[in-house]
Amino acid sequence: MNQRGSRRELNGVVIRAAMEKTLVVEVARLVQHPTFKKYVRLKKKYYVHDEKRGAKVGDTVRIVESHPISKLKKWRLKAVISKTS
């Protein structure tokens, strides 16, 4: 199998799963402020393609970068790390 190169992988939490085969995943990261040297939490939302519809709201998931699937979706669901009860 050909190796396509390294793709970015991110971990995040599903915040919306109402669309057909699409999730909205929020990824939070800590960044140090350049002036005040305080760590600030930045959050970003990603539209993720979920072919099998395996994730629900509140699940922690791993997403991987992909070719553009639609106007907003450029990420695919790789794995569900932990499920909510």
The dotted CATH code for 11-54 is: 2.40.50.140
pTM of structure: 0.86
Q: What is the pLDDT of residues 22-63, one digit of tens each?
A: 999 999 999 999 999 999 999 999 999 999 998 999 999 999
Rounded to the nearest 5 degrees, what angle is found at the Cα of 25, between the Cα atoms of 49 and 7?
60
Q: Rounded CA gap, 15 and 25, in Å?
A: 6
What are the domain boundaries of the chain?
Answer: 11-54
Cβ neighbours around 27 below 10 Å, total: 16
Tokens of 12: 């995040």
